[in-house]
Amino acid sequence: MTSQLTWSDGELSDARWLIDRALQEDLHGQPDPTTTSLIAPETMAKVTIGSRAHGRLAGLPVVKLVLDALNADADMTVFKHDGDVITPGDVIVSLRGPLGLLLVAERTILNFLIHLSGIATVTSQYVDLVKGTKAVLLDTRKTLPAYRTLAKYAVRCGGGTNHRMGLYDGILIKDNHLAGWRQQNPTGTLADAIHEARRRQPGMKIEVEVDTQTQLADVLQARPEIVLLDNMTLDELRQAITMRDQFAPGLLLEASGGVNLKTVQGIAQTGVDRISVGALTHSAPALDLGFDWSI
């Protein structure tokens, strides 16, 4: 079992907000007519949430938060924790409480768990492929709206590292920013843009995207903290590292674009410091988990 991961206050707050909206979406403030038609309020049941696939668990605190939101008084026994490897047949958690409320909670609980565990599972696959290299595997801002903190938590459950949380906590100058800036500064260079950002946002780390060696040479003059190497070939990545080592040692190089499970190992072996992968959060398939009960 991995060292146990816990949610921050911010992650808990975001989860409660999402759960409230998920339950409103499902119930519209009304009782579930299927459950109330068929299940007597006093009926108790034991429920187990288990794995039907190999993967990595993420999002377990959602179980209690959903039950609390429904005022479901249920006993909960936890067998697995976030970050744990799970295999088919593993019991993750067992619950004993009112059957009707457990059935109402079922889909909301699973929707969170399968999505977040899917992210953790894919992340762990990427992390395994870059082991033995210096590369740190990073997520991006390509998350479902309002899911950012939970998705990035799931990345950590899979052994990955979080990039900036949002626009507010880091400067990342990309091609569209530069295109807009050059409308106002037609003779300006990439280095000029970095100096301007540093002047306006002193103390904030700056990352700049480049897609050619010429752009990289320009950027290195201004010494941002990180340079994002966008959609470069393996040879181009190696050339970029050589140029960095010569002109700006200590500056971090991050590869992005065209990164998938087939290419990530080769990219890591070039010697880049960081690899960012949007697929960790925007394309992770759901992990198959089950919700089974017995009266």
CATH code of 167's domain: 3.20.20.70
Whether 84 is covered by a domain: the verdict is yes
Compute φ and ψ for 208, nearest 5 degrees.
-130, 135
149 and 278 part of one domain? yes
User: Which residues are CB-neighbours of 188 under 8 A, at least 6 positions away?
Assistant: 181, 182, 196
Whether 1 is covered by a domain: the verdict is no
Structural domain including 82 reads 9-127+284-294
113 and 27 part of one domain? yes
The pTM assigned to this predicted structure is 0.95
Whether 107 is covered by a domain: the verdict is yes
Domain count, the chain: 2
State which H helix or E strand residue 226 sits in.
strand 226-230
- Number of Cβ within 10 Å of residue 180's Cβ equals 10
pLDDT for residue 294: 65
Active site residues: 107, 142, 174, 209, 230
Among residues 103, 112, 83, 127, which one has the least CA distance to residue 18?
112
The number of residues in the chain equals 295
Which CATH number belongs to the domain containing residue 73 in this structure? 3.90.1170.20
Tokens at 129, concatenated: 């492929």
pLDDT for residue 5: 81
The answer to whether 280 and 119 are in contact (CB under 8 A) is: yes
66 and 150 part of one domain? no
116 and 248 part of one domain? no
User: Which residues are CB-neighbours of 117 under 8 A, at least 6 positions away?
Assistant: 55, 56, 57, 58, 59, 86, 154, 286, 287, 289
Among residues 102, 109, 108, which one has the least CA distance to residue 35?
102
The answer to whether 1 and 81 are in contact (CB under 8 A) is: yes
60 and 116 part of one domain? yes
Whether 2 is covered by a domain: the verdict is no
Q: Distance between CA 214 and CA 212 in Å, rounded?
A: 5
141 and 268 part of one domain? yes
115 and 134 part of one domain? no
Tokens at 91, concatenated: 């019991």
Q: Distance between CA 119 and CA 10 in Å, rounded?
A: 19
Q: Measuring CA to CA, how many Å separate 228 from each of 21, 210, 223?
A: 36, 6, 13
68 and 156 part of one domain? no
Whether 4 is covered by a domain: the verdict is no
Q: Distance between CA 295 and CA 99 in Å, rounded?
A: 8
Tokens at 164, concatenated: 């900036």
pLDDT for residue 116: 98
pLDDT for residue 1: 38
Mean pLDDT by 10 residues, the chain (295 residues): 72 96 96 95 94 98 97 96 97 96 97 98 98 98 96 98 96 93 91 95 96 96 97 98 97 97 98 98 97 76
pLDDT for residue 2: 43
